[in-house]
Amino acid sequence: MKLGISSMAWDLDSKIYICKEIGFDHIEVGIDCEDDFEFIYSNLEKIKKQDISVGIHLPMEINTCEVVEDIRNCWVDFVINLYNKGKGIDIKYYNLHLGYGMAHKVLKHRETYLKNSLCFFNKILKYINSTDIYVENTYSKNGELVNIGNDYKDFKYIFDNISSEKFGFCYDSGHDLINQSHYLQSLSYCTRLIHLSDNDGKEDLHLGLSENGLLGEEKIREILNLRSVKYVILEMNEKYFKDSKKIINKTSAKKTK
């Protein structure tokens, strides 16, 4: 299991330095467009020298469950174009969210939206075979547009219908604190990526880990005990990195006793 940090593409240089100073060996880079890959290519020698692996977080605007097929296919093409742009880098995975829809339509036809996601991922997985694809839980608040992927049942449907070694689940602890669901109990077998952060249960504050945090030591231990996980990402402000790593090391030491 690799322990890493998150970074926007434009801030990659400083995050590489932090990896060296604190001792991380993985970076998940947020990419919004093809041009953002240039930040990775320009830092590739540093990345290789420090033996840092790289994952990609795709834009949250991507809508895998888009109801208009032509638009959904545009998103498929967009992801494939990004994948092709990054072929010169040893990208370990691409991570994304399920998407969103009009609240009144999602309420009545949620399975239809999930079937659209199946179409999206089947097309992606046919083309992308040299790296993993992960899909992440999110949270949703009342509004005309709502997120899909804020309930474990959404992902159970997806993984019951797609079986691939290259396709896995990303568990985000901060999102789960806002919209709690049975992700770890139901999806432990396919959980490959973890986004770790804390919050107040209301807003996605990306706080660091602490002994008195809402996330709690018991939950952190449960997460770290997942055998299928390949990468754990501290998705938080960099000021929390050092103390959060100490919490992880302390919790890991306890579970091995």
Task: Report the amino acid identity of residue 12.
Answer: L
Indicate if the pLDDT at residue 156 is higher than 60: yes
Q: Does residue 46 form part of some domain?
A: yes
Question: CB neighbours (10 Å) of residue 153?
Answer: 12
Query: What's the distance, Cα to Cα, between the start and end of the chain in Å?
Result: 19
| Residues 184, 218, 210, 250, Cα dihedral to 10° | -110
Residue 240 forms part of a structural domain:
yes
Express each pLDDT in 93-107 by its tens digit: 999 999 999 999 999
pLDDT, tens digit (0-9, with 9 covering 90-100), for 52-90: 999 999 999 999 999 999 999 999 999 999 999 999 999
Q: Which residue has the tokens 């949620």?
A: 110
Residue 178 lies in a domain: yes
**138 domain residue, yes or no:** yes
- Provide the pLDDT confidence category of residue 202 given band limits of 50, 70 and 90: very high
Domain coverage including residue 104: 2-252
pLDDT at 255: 55
For residue 253, the model assigns a pLDDT of: 72
Query: What confidence tens digit (pLDDT) does each residue in 117-144 have?
Result: 999 999 999 999 899 999 999 999 879 9
How much is the pLDDT for 118?
A: 99
The answer as to whether 257 is a domain residue is no
Pair 52, 5: CB distance under 8 Å: no
Q: Which pLDDT score, from 0 to 100, does residue 225 have?
A: 94
**Residue 64 lies inside a defined structural domain of this protein:** yes
Residue 254 has pLDDT above 80, yes or no: no
Look at residue 30 in the predicted model and tell me its pLDDT. 98
- Give residue 150's pLDDT: 97
Segment 6-21 shows an average pLDDT of 98
Q: What is the pLDDT of residue 4?
A: 98
- 80 lies in some domain: yes
49: domain CATH number?
Answer: 3.20.20.150
Alpha-carbon distances, residue 201 vs 60, 75, 141, 180, 194 (angstroms): 21, 31, 12, 9, 18
Question: Which amino acid is residue 238, in one-letter code?
Answer: E
Instruction: Tell me what pLDDT residue 142 has.
Output: 79
pLDDT greater than 80 at residue 46: yes
Q: Which residues pair with 207 in a beta bridge?
A: 198
Q: Is 115 contained in some domain?
A: yes
Instruction: Give CA–CA dist 46/238, Å, rounded.
Output: 20
- State the pLDDT at residue 75: 99
Q: Max Cα separation, the chain?
A: 55
> How many domains is the chain partitioned into structurally?
1
49: confidence class by pLDDT, cuts 50, 70, 90? very high
